[in-house]
Amino acid sequence: MGLLLPGVTFGQTVTLSVDGASTTVGTATVTTPTIAGNGTDCGYSVSGSWTGTSLTSACTSLQIWLTTSSCGTAPSTTNSPADVVVYTAQAGTLAGGLTSDSFSFVFDTLPSFSTNSCGSAVDFTNVLCAAVTIAATGGACTGTTAEASPVNIRYDNVLPDPPTVSVVPLDTQLSVKLVAAGSGTTASDIQYFQVQYALELPDGGLGDYITVGGNIAATSGRVTISDLVDGNSYVVVGYSVDEASNVSANSTPVVGTPVLTYGFYSNYLDDGGQQGGCGDTAGGGPSTVGFLIVVVFAAARRRG
Amino acid sequence: MRRTFIASILFLSILLFVLARKAAMRGATFASILLIAIPAHADDASPLPNTTILELKLGFFEPRVGDSPGVLGNPYVQTFGNSPMLLGVLEVDRSLLHAYGYLGVGLSVGYGEKYAKALLADGTPSGEATGLIVLPIRAMVVYRYDVLAHVMHIPLVPYAELGPVLYPWWTEKGGSVEIVNGEKGSGFRFGWGFSLGLALELDFLNPTSSREAREDAGIHHFYLFGEFNDDFAANFGGAGINLGAAYFAFGIAFEF
């Protein structure tokens, strides 16, 4: 997640990396440059690091802070909720050659938690910022400010809507299609789906639910349940999972019944067609291929 | 020029011989070939360099599945309707003797597929697809009568091809090879096939560009062509599915 600010002049840069190369915060999913957590991540310690170049002439401390608004060049003294500084490297330390360091903060120190308790069903995004000012020629502290590209820190403890599920019966299979409910941000927030199915028993009850297909990408939204029995009915439900790993309630159950179908080969055999010849006897096919190869080889040799 | 004309008659006679289905017709045609073959053989056309021809062609292919041994109906039509599959073919020919026409060998590989909905027991379409895929492979003797173009400057090249064919094939249902009662719907069929075609040499459209293509890129000629093909891919009457077909194909070719 290293981020380089393209607008810095004179070669000074500050790069932020949060949670190292990891793509998760606790159990949550990260979509660069956003990391997201849910209610189970309140006590999680988010670790990060920064690296900088050409910072020996820094005239301010390098600060890393959390804010509810845009970053700017330093933590705001007027924001409400107040910005939270999570790391400071003094200018003298930078002048001594410090070019990288690590930091951490607990997830529930996000500024927005000053008005929302961690664990409540809210969805907000704060921003992690880093900046340092470089002395101008002559020593005045009016030079360029090196800013890191911000990293979004999202807290999302709102369950997504369950998907809409439809089923197409196939031969010993059910083709399942899932569509994210809602629209716009709500739908695009869905990262993947999960599907379960259960056999409908003769007494009207259900067998055990079986999970199938693993995590089904939201961009695909399709999975095929195989190895079923034609004529039996199966109940299928789907779940949506969002960026912060929140799992929706199950979708409205859909019943599907696999059915015997007749493909081309079935029709051929049903019409009296025979197996046989090269198609199904071992060795016939390869020997013919060999014959063709010999023909071509012989022709090539003759030409040569 | 007279001998070229005679040779043209000879070539057309050979085409007629190949096309003649009845023995009597073939006999008569063969006799006519003998009568004119001797003067044509005396022609002393100068040899041309051996060349390679690359062809790309498309055809509409409907296999004779209904002619398979034991089959009462036509499973192809029952499944896919009266709609041929689109067949794409890549062919490479190489001349071995390029003195009086182009005599050589060729190898072609094609791909054709046809999909439709698999049927339910009541004959209505189901929610899953079924398909037939064929991969025709041919090794051929090729004769192209390019004397008309080279000597008489008539930009037409009739040609004929003959040789063994091999048809790898498989059927699909629901995205995988169809299996019925443990029997897999796939395999190979072999037999023989021929083509009769006519190519239009395009050099006359822009002689300057043609000369530059020859000198700069080594491409001697460009062609558009159409041809009639008949493949007998039924293991010479053996048991199993008949995947042979008579079909027309059209394409482009370049000779280098």
Chain B residue closest in CA terms to A168 = B127
Per-residue model confidence (pLDDT) at position A211: 94
Q: How confident is the model at residue B94 (pLDDT cuts 50, 70, 90)?
A: very high
Q: Which of A130, A156, A182 is the last residue of a domain?
A: A156
Chain position carrying tokens 């054709």: B112
Are residues A21 and A127 both part of a single domain? yes
pLDDT tens for chain A, 304 residues: list them.
222 222 222 345 566 665 432 333 333 333 336 777 888 888 888 888 888 877 888 888 889 999 999 888 889 999 999 999 999 999 899 889 888 888 888 888 999 998 888 888 888 889 888 888 888 777 788 777 877 777 888 888 888 899 999 999 999 999 999 999 875 555 568 899 999 999 999 898 999 999 997 899 988 899 999 999 999 999 999 999 988 889 999 999 999 999 999 999 999 998 998 876 444 443 344 444 445 554 555 555 554 4
Question: What's the alpha-carbon Rg for chain A, to the nearest Å?
Answer: 31
Per-residue model confidence (pLDDT) at position A253: 95
Per-residue model confidence (pLDDT) at position B43: 43
Whose CA is closest to A229, among A200, A253, A205, A187?
Answer: A200
pLDDT at residue B4 greater than cutoff 70: no
Are residues A40 and A138 both part of a single domain? yes
Across chain B, how many H-helices and E-strands are there?
5, 12
A284 domain residue, yes or no: no
How long, in residues, is chain B? 256
Domain containing residue A46: 13-156
Among A3-7, B36-40, B214-218, the range of highest mean pLDDT: B214-218
Q: Which residues have a Cβ under 8 Å from the Cβ of A296 and sit 6 or more positions away?
A: B105, B107, B139
Higher pLDDT, B226 or B10: B226
Chain A residue closest in CA terms to B68 = A273
Are residues A152 and A172 both part of a single domain? no
pTM for this model (two decimals): 0.63
pLDDT at residue B39 greater than cutoff 50: no
Domain residue extents for chain B: 1-44, 45-255
Higher pLDDT, B4 or B225: B225
Q: What is the pLDDT of residues B159-213, one digit of tens each?
A: 999 999 999 999 999 888 998 888 899 999 999 999 999 999 988 888 888 788 8
Window 155-184 of B: residues touching A by CB (8 A cutoff) are 163-164, 166, 168-169, 171-175, 178, 180-181, 183-184
Q: How confident is the model at residue B47 (pLDDT cuts 50, 70, 90)?
A: low
Are residues A44 and A101 both part of a single domain? yes
Minimal C-alpha gap between B50 and chain A (Å): 10
Are residues A175 and A117 both part of a single domain? no
For A183, phi then psi, to 5°, come to: -150, 170
Q: How confident is the model at residue B214 (pLDDT cuts 50, 70, 90)?
A: confident
pLDDT at residue B57 greater than cutoff 90: yes
**Cβ-nearest to B180 among A265, A274, A285:** A265
Beta-carbon separation of B132 and A274 below 8 A = no
Q: Which residues have a Cβ under 8 Å from the Cβ of A53 and sit 6 or more positions away?
A: A11, A12, A13, A99
Read off the pLDDT of each residue in B1-9 and give the average, rounded to a whole number: 49
A283 domain residue, yes or no: no
Read off the pLDDT of each residue in B51-78 and give the average, rounded to a whole number: 92
User: What is the predicted ipTM?
Assistant: 0.78
| Side-chain-side CA neighbours of residue B189 (13 Å) | 32
Q: Answer whether B91's CB lies under 8 Å from B57's CB.
A: yes
Are residues A115 and A223 both part of a single domain? no
What CA–CA distances, in Å, run from A293 to A288, A296, B94, B188, B189? 9, 5, 15, 15, 16
Query: Out of A111-115, A275-279, B15-19, B73-77, which region has the weakest mean confidence (pLDDT)?
Result: B15-19
Per-residue model confidence (pLDDT) at position A36: 79
Q: Total structural domains in chain A?
A: 2
Report domain B45-255's class: mainly beta
Beta-carbon separation of B119 and A267 below 8 A = yes
A5 domain residue, yes or no: no
Per-residue model confidence (pLDDT) at position B158: 94
Per-residue model confidence (pLDDT) at position A252: 95
Q: Best residue in B96, B124, B130, B142 to probe A by mutation, most A CBs within 10 Å?
A: B130
